[in-house]
A and B are shown apart, each in its own frame.
Chain A
Amino acid sequence: MLVLTRRANQSIMIGSDVVVTVLEVRGDQVRIGIDAPRSVSVHREEVFRELEAANRAAASPEAGALEDLTALRPPPKRP
């Protein structure tokens, strides 16, 4: 891993169009600003990892389970 030291308001460039800026350092929290093209998605890592795990768990359920699922209906609409 590349390790760089930066102060508040200093930035790092990743490639030619992603700029990561340290906005504020307070105690054990760092506020970071990210400028990236729309084609680059930016996420908190733990949230993205959780979604990866959820997608893997949901992928390609067994055919038998699918058959049972078709009988499941939404609860009736509340008044």
Chain B
Amino acid sequence: MSANVAEELPELHFAGGLPGFPDVRRFVLVRLGDEHSPFSVLRSLDDGPDIAPAVEFVVTHPSLFFPDYEPEIDDDIAARLELKSADDALLLVIVTVADPVAASTANLLGPIVVNRHTRAAAQAVLGNSGYATREALVPHR
């Protein structure tokens, strides 16, 4: 893993934490693997007594695996992250890594929305969207 830490992007700040991890607010986004890898690791920077060791999530750009994915980001999140237009937002989805990895899934119900300019981030909750927390990355044949 340490080989991938070389290319750190600026810190992301989740003011409200994430569901299940309310106290983890600061993360860095680190590429996972070589430059062709579609995956990154979102690694927590807050280490307190309750959250040591660091929490990590594998994330990917949903457009790579789910070209038809068009979540509707509600006004509350847009306001909280100070998003003025759709171009301000970077969308990521959390991957649940499975064994074998081809069975890995992505959480399309709760995409991560990032303001590219301020790096403020939040996990949206798309109730009533029809999206699931475990959508197969690789379609079944």
Contacts and interface: CB of A to CB of B under 8 A. Distances in A.
Interface residues of A, number: 33
A15 to B, nearest CB: 17
Interface in B11-58: 15-16, 18-21, 32-34, 36-39, 41, 53-58
Pick the 9 closest A-B CB pairs, nearest first: A70-B33, A54-B133, A52-B20, A61-B97, A74-B64, A55-B20, A58-B96, A51-B19, A52-B19
Given A41-B16, A43-B127, A58-B96, 11 more contacts: A48-B19, A51-B123, A55-B20, A58-B94, A59-B56, A60-B55, A61-B96, A61-B97, A72-B101, A72-B102, A73-B36
Interface of A: 38-39, 41, 43-44, 47-48, 50-63, 65-66, 68-75, 77-78
Interface of B: 1, 15-16, 18-21, 32-34, 36-39, 41, 53-58, 64-65, 67, 76, 79-80, 94-102, 104, 107, 109-110, 123, 125, 127, 133-134, 137-139
